[in-house]
Amino acid sequence: MFPKWFDKWNRDNPTNVYGPGILVGVLGGAVFVAIMLVTLGQPHATASLQTGPRGTGMSVTEFQADLATPDPDIALIFEDPPFPPEPGEPLAGDIYENVQVLGDLTDANFNRVMAAMTRWVSPEQGCAYCHGDGDLETYGEDNLYTKVVARRMIQMTQNINENWDGHVNANKEVGVTCMTCHRGQNVPSEVWFREAPVVSAMAGWSATQNRATETSQYTSLPSDALESYLLDYQRIGVHDLASRVEGSPSDPAVPAIQNAERTYALMNYFANSLGANCVTCHNSRAFYDGVQVTPQWSTASLGIAMVQELNNDYLVGLLDLYPEDRLGPVHQDAPKAACATCHKGYLQPLQGTNVIADWPELATSGPPAYGEAE
């Protein structure tokens, strides 16, 4: 009736019945759990995005429960289709004073965009956030820095949609609006400021150890990666493939160990900003080879160039407009953008939701193409 091993063990240990009982119980429990998993499904099922050849570890694995949970900020998106202009309809630039951008919109569409910007950026303060508490007659004045900054941000948004289509719309039409970054906040989350130098003496040595900061993803890697690569246009380089290459680490053309650490800090930032990993862009067998990278590498490279332009041509130049409480805590510099400012932990901002469809006014610096809006 019982297995031979059980009869033999029972003969050799006539007083101990707990051992085989526990063993049988464990085996029975394991079988029960296996049956339940097969019947009810894996409670922590995962799905993988294959980014390269199978067997190379090139995949991004996520819990299906996370994939099924939408970005909560998507609930903030609202539809408000434009009003098709009528021939000869007066334009905002002819109706209102000091309209330096969006002046070629009809009155109805101009006010529709203004109302949307209020909901995207200052839902609590309303129009007064940029225009003050005066009468409508005072709305043309530039007394508040917020209005001047908002005007420049409109131009920046139009530039992104007009000139960086290869990054923003790499997979489908998505576009960007004020909502992409602000999400109902006056200042977008995930902006950054200069922090370097952030080294401190260790046990009496010279300053050789980096302090862990949020910018370095709370590691002791250098905290100046964003300013080096997304502001100062430094070359992202890790090492030379040949060994014992002559050259001084002080030579900018020689990628020293500090460059490798700084690059690794930047890559960590990318991964956390997009909720991805290294093989989303790189081939796991040849990280250094630009020929063997994934298509996402090109999209990310365009993103780097785009952010460099936004920081240098739009954001840094606003420094003199900001009050002291809006400046960086270390160098009193202007807030700047990086990947997380838009992506906020997702491969695509707002999980690829098309936010530009109802806002052709923000898709180009010229007259909007209402006939193409869908």
Whether 64 maps to a domain, the answer reads no
Question: b vs e for 121-135, b when ≥16 Cβ sit within 10 Å of the residue's Cβ?
Answer: bbeeeeeebbbeeee
> What does the pLDDT look like over 196-236, one tens digit per residue?
887 665 555 545 677 788 888 888 888 899 999 999 999 88
Characterize the bridge pairing of strands 199-201 and 207-210: antiparallel
One domain, residues 173 and 194: no
One domain, residues 228 and 368: no
Q: Is 153 annotated as a binding residue?
A: yes
- What pLDDT does 203 receive? 55
CATH number of the domain where residue 102 is located:
1.10.468.10
CA 235 to chain centre: 21
Whether 308 maps to a domain, the answer reads yes
- Residue 35, H or E segment: helix 18-40
Q: Tell me, what DSSP letter sits at residue 308?
A: H
One domain, residues 206 and 119: no
d(CA 368, CA 258): 47
One domain, residues 224 and 287: yes
One domain, residues 164 and 194: no
Residue 66 near residue 342, CB atoms below 8 Å: no
Residue 193 near residue 330, CB atoms below 8 Å: yes
Residue written as token pair 């019945």: 17
d(CA 370, CA 374): 9
One domain, residues 162 and 288: no
Q: Is 181 annotated as a binding residue?
A: yes
Q: Is 117 annotated as a binding residue?
A: no
User: How wide is the angle at C-alpha 350 spanned by C-alphas 346 and 356, nearest 5°?
Assistant: 140
3-state secondary structure of 149: helix
Q: Is 282 annotated as a binding residue?
A: yes
One domain, residues 197 and 178: no
One domain, residues 229 and 336: yes
Q: Is 114 annotated as a binding residue?
A: yes
Q: Is 339 annotated as a binding residue?
A: yes
Q: Which domain holds residue 106?
A: 72-183+355-374
Residue 274 near residue 339, CB atoms below 8 Å: yes
One domain, residues 205 and 334: yes
Could you read off the pLDDT tens digit of each residue along the chain, which spans 374 residues? 678 887 787 777 766 666 777 888 888 889 888 887 777 666 677 787 888 877 777 888 777 777 778 999 999 999 999 999 999 999 999 999 999 999 999 999 999 999 999 999 999 999 999 999 989 889 999 999 999 999 999 999 999 999 999 999 998 999 999 999 999 999 999 999 998 887 665 555 545 677 788 888 888 888 899 999 999 999 887 777 777 777 776 777 777 778 888 899 999 999 999 999 999 999 888 887 888 889 899 999 999 999 999 999 999 999 999 999 999 999 999 999 999 999 999 999 999 999 999 999 999 998 898 874 44
One domain, residues 179 and 214: no
Residue 262 near residue 198, CB atoms below 8 Å: no
Half-sphere exposure of 54 toward its Cβ, with a 13 Å CA cutoff?
1
Tokens in use for 55? 């067997």
Tokens in use for 354? 């098309």
Whether 7 maps to a domain, the answer reads no
- What pLDDT does 1 receive? 65
One domain, residues 281 and 360: no
Whether 123 maps to a domain, the answer reads yes
Whether 106 maps to a domain, the answer reads yes
One domain, residues 287 and 320: yes
Whether 51 maps to a domain, the answer reads no
Whether 111 maps to a domain, the answer reads yes
Whether 336 maps to a domain, the answer reads yes
- Residue 208, H or E segment: strand 207-210
Q: Is 44 annotated as a binding residue?
A: no
- Report how many domains make up the chain: 2
